[in-house]
Chain A
Amino acid sequence: MDGEPTGFELGGVRFGSRLILGTGGAANLHVLEQAIRASGTELVTLALRRVEAVPGRSGGLLDLIDRCGVRLLPNTAGCYTAGEAVKVARLARDAFDTDWIKLEVIGDERTLLPDGVELLRAAEELVDDGFTVLPYTSDDPVLARRLADVGCAAVMPAGAPIGSGLGINNPHHIRLIRQHVDVPVILDAGIGTASDAALAMELGCDAVLLASAVTRAADPVAMATAMRYAIEAGRLAHGAGRIPRRFHALASTPHEGRPDL
């Protein structure tokens, strides 16, 4: 999409950082704020839940997001049908004055992998309703193209199940998705450590969305910093043109001019 090492465009907005940080899983708001600042992110996700289920009420989280000067991206986490997800998206639009939505429609509670049929249905309805739809999808290149075709502003394939930290299970499919669609590809879910994020960028992804890898790390602030650099490094490497893989060695020191000893 974009050869520059820093910055990309999403939903008509220019972002300097290619890292989108999920706020789920942080031990407390203080750590979360430090992690957001260390990561350099400009876009963070949040969820909608019953008021009494939010410790300390939600004002603290919204104040924190304001203080950090980042945009917010509500999600539809926990929805299992298109109908439910569409309603949560509309509630989020009313609560947060944004028509951006990270669309999640889960198909299986053990893997939390998306239900492609419900996801596509919800995406279509929300695009028609004027939303900027960012769907969390599987690593299926055909489904990714269908989501882009109905007008999603990006596609966000899972590298591995949410919170699993397994990295990118099918790098080839991620690369295929990048070739299949004209919208930004954001690797979402599965990232465990910095090298996973770097790999996503080397595969050609435009950005990475991660939460648990930072918020549940032993030192979230250090991991947020690591992710920031990994994503920049991966993007640079992607543009730099890696050497081809070879079966045998290729000496980097010339053979000619060796002394005869």
Chain B
Amino acid sequence: MELTVNGVERSVRDGVTVAELVRDVSGQERGVAVAVNGEVVPRTGWPATALCGGDQVEVLSAAQGG
């Protein structure tokens, strides 16, 4: 299925979870936050949250900023 991850189309296997996607995209979990279709998915919910085709996913992490 197709997702939009950080603004870019990405093909993933059906039923992929947020936890699996974070591992693929980021390679780390520390300091990472995820929103799906504009809603925050708390870290504790990542393993049980399966994504659906067309979902808009944001995977964010710490960056320098004032």
Chain A positions within 8 Å of B, measured between CB atoms, are: 22-26, 32, 45-54, 57-59, 61-62, 75, 77, 87, 90-92, 94-96, 162-163, 189, 209-212
Q: Smallest Cβ distance from A195 to chain B, in angstroms?
A: 20
Q: Smallest Cβ distance from A116 to chain B, in angstroms?
A: 20
Distance of A26 Cα from B63 Cα, bound (Å): 11
Distance of A127 Cα from B64 Cα, bound (Å): 25
29 contacts between A and B (CB under 8 A): A23-B64, A23-B65, A24-B64, A24-B66, A25-B64, A25-B66, A26-B64, A47-B62, A47-B64, A47-B65, A49-B60, A50-B7, A50-B58, A51-B6, A51-B25, A51-B26, A51-B61, A52-B25, A57-B28, A57-B61, A58-B62, A87-B35, A91-B35, A91-B40, A94-B34, A96-B62, A163-B66, A209-B66, A210-B66
- Assess whether B33 is interfacial by the CB under 8 Å rule: yes
What is the chain B residue whose CB lies nearest that of A32? B64
Distance of A24 Cα from B61 Cα, bound (Å): 15
Q: Smallest Cβ distance from B51 to chain A, in angstroms?
A: 16
Contact B38 A95 (CB under 8 A): no
What is the chain B residue whose CB lies nearest that of A20? B66
Q: Smallest Cβ distance from B32 to chain A, in angstroms?
A: 6
Q: Smallest Cβ distance from B41 to chain A, in angstroms?
A: 8
Q: Smallest Cβ distance from A136 to chain B, in angstroms?
A: 9
Distance of A227 Cα from B53 Cα, bound (Å): 52
Contact A87 B38 (CB under 8 A): yes
Contact A51 B59 (CB under 8 A): yes
